Structure 1
Amino acid sequence: MYVVLGANGRAGGETARALIEHGEAVRVVVRHPGQGEKWTALGAAVVVANIEDTEALADALKGASGAFLLNPPPVRGDPYARTDELGAALADAARRTHLPKAVVLSSIGAQHASGTGVIATLNRFEARLAGVAPAIAFLRSGYFVETWSEVAGTAVSEGLLPTFLEPSQEIPMVSTIDVGRTAAALLREDWTGKRVVELAGPEDWSAGNVASAFAEVLDRPVVPMLVPPEGRAVLLAEEGVPEEVAGALLGMYEGIANGLFTRQDGSEHRRGTISLAAAIERIVATVEPADRCSAPQ
């Protein structure tokens, strides 16, 4: 039985699906009962728990042969303090239940303790969880291609791709499909000790490449539109992102621009198989019809 946290998120959901497709017994952890219905339909066991609750986490991890653990994206409060609290709760629960194997979602660039904004929380998360299981792998993912879904409506309706990334800067990006498949594969592999596995897509890509993929899928021009640094905080505030969270997110983009979003020497380097065009096509399929109708002709 494998336990998956964050099953209603991008990476956790793909991990649970990949394990189920391999015929494995899966137990997903969700916050609300209604979130478990789709997983029950797929044959997974469902546990309703707050992942910051050590007792509830320990109950969820009992009897597991392995678990997929993660630090959910921050939505409010101090991301660094929250990471420390969650990391401590997860570590305590894993030790109490003698969890034999863990795959922990992290990020490329997590080797840096500072200068990378929200990615630096994962440096702390890794430190909190180091040694909690005889077999532990930190899966450092590239920038999720699916993050571009947040501006897909603008790409479809206006032919513009807003971005905080310099359009020509290529960085490790990867579809969450590949993240889930890799996490599932690691859980199913036989190994002991600590591993750091860094995962990117078939190639490194830039915001310009993403815009070209949107153009290919939509069959019309899409161009990247760099949001200048001085306008980013205002934009995030308008979208309702709390100030502390916005600061951490903007720090990530500063770290990327400064070349800190790079693979670490000595780690395992893997590449997925999902192409950029395939990932963007899946994103476009989720865009609301109203956005499609308003697209320039």
Structure 2
Amino acid sequence: MPKPITVLVAGATGRQGGAVARALLDHGHAVRALTRRPGSERAAALHAAGAELHEGDLDDGAAVERAAAGADAFFLMATPFEEGAGAEVRQGQRAAEAARRAGVKHLVYSSVAGADQGTGIPHFDSKAEIERHVQALGVPYTIVAPVFFMENLLSLAVLRGLRTGTLALPLPAARSLQMVAVEDLGAFVRLVVERPGSFQGQRVEIASDEVTGREAARALAEVTRSAIGYSEVPLAEVRRQSEDLGRMWAWFDLKGYGCDLAALRSAYPEVGWHDLRAWAREQDWSELDQAGAEQPTA
């Protein structure tokens, strides 16, 4: 067993941060959970699992610095889907600077695969800006860049379609999309903080599986034992809702992610990588009406 370490986890009551916190706690590490809502049910569950709660948000550099003091590592993630890309960049940069002032030994930033390619996708470009800031700080760092989360299939919009027997996504049925299970992200980040010397200064893109829309519909139909077909949502419809997400789906069709899944599985078998069917089997499909309140970024 690796020596226990102390890790500050941002977004610990969300999907990404929650997965990281659980993976760390399950392996005997001390978790400091940074949360804006320490009185929430999710925060209470984390505390019951052994996490130490720290109230604060990423805009409050002083609060982050206090929570990070003496920590071995800091898992940092920020989102543009609450206050916009500008706020995401500001919060990510402030939190990273606070980690430096606190003397954190290893800063692990969760970005997105493809962010370093100049995609023109706003929520990819905002993460790229934070990446550059982290790399210039002079703090030992690792950038973990996940692809599209499988948990996005639990979004309310997708679930509405599934209930009527259709998996509807803005991609042609035969176009493949790389996906990652949030649990795999948590397991991978655990390896990163346990083995800092092997990952410092690296940018690692991670994915669990690659499937076409038609294959995804077939997998979900098999697991849920229901008739599910695939339907392509017109890209113009997505753009009317969000130009940011419209650009993302257009990029998925034009180029898409390029993780080497075989190499990841070979190099890091400890992660226990999920394929889409394995992930789907672990979901409580009887609770679909309650799912989808929170959507992780792609």
Normalised by the length of structure 2, the TM-score is 0.85
1:212 maps to what in 2?
218
2:20 maps to what in 1?
15
Gaps of 5+ in 2: 1-5, 266-270, 291-298
Q: CA deviation at 1:33?
A: 2.1
Residue from 262, 268, 278 that aligns with 2:258: 262
1:286 maps to what in 2?
287
SS of match in other structure, 1:34: coil
Distance 2:284 2:151 in 1: 7
CA contact (8 A) 1:138 1:196 kept: yes
Distance 1:88 1:54 in 2: 10
Distance 1:190 1:230, change over 3 A: closer
Which 4+ stretches in 1 moved above 4 angstroms? Answer: none
2:268 maps to what in 1?
none
Distance 1:11 1:140, change over 3 A: same
Distance 2:256 2:212 in 1: 15
Distance 1:42 1:186, change over 3 A: same
Distance 1:217 1:253 in 2: 26
Indicate the structure whose relative CO is greater, using CA pairs within 8 Å and at least 6 residues apart: 1
Quick one: percent identity of the two aligned structures? Answer: 25
Number of aligned residues: 273
Give the counterpart letter for 1:178 in structure 2: D
Query: Is 42-51 or 221-230 further displaced after alignment?
Result: 221-230
CA contact (8 A) 1:40 1:46 kept: yes
Q: CA deviation at 1:112?
A: 1.6
- Summarize deviations over 1:138-179 as a string: whole Å, max 9, x none: 111111001010145334421011212332211221100100
Matched, 1:126 2:122: no
Distance 1:140 1:84 in 2: 16
- Summarize deviations over 1:32-57 as a string: whole Å, max 9, x none: 12232111100110001011111111
Gaps of 5+ in 1: 237-245, 290-297
Distance 1:184 1:95, change over 3 A: same
1:277 maps to what in 2?
277
RMSD, aligned CA: 2.1
Distance 1:152 1:113, change over 3 A: closer
Normalised by the length of structure 1, the TM-score is 0.85
SS of match in other structure, 2:109: strand
1:91 maps to what in 2?
96
